[in-house]
Amino acid sequence: MKFDQPNATQRRWREDVRALGSVLSEQSPVEIHHCAGRTAVHFKVRIGHWWILPLTKAEHDEIARQGHDRKVLEKILFVKLMDRYVTVYGTPLPFGPEVIEAIQEYRR
Give the pLDDT confidence of 13-39 residue by residue, as tens digits.
Answer: 999 999 999 999 999 999 999 999 999
Q: How many CB atoms lie within 10 A of CB 44?
A: 7
> Domain 8-104 belongs to what architecture?
2-Layer Sandwich (3.30)
Q: How many CB atoms lie within 10 A of CB 94?
A: 14
Q: What is the pTM of this model?
A: 0.94
Average pLDDT, the chain: 95
Tell how strand 41-42 and strand 45-46 pair up: antiparallel
Q: How far apart are CA 14 and CA 102, in angstroms?
A: 19
Q: Which residues pair with 55 in a beta bridge?
A: 31
| Nearest alpha-carbon partner for 85 in 42, 58, 53 | 53
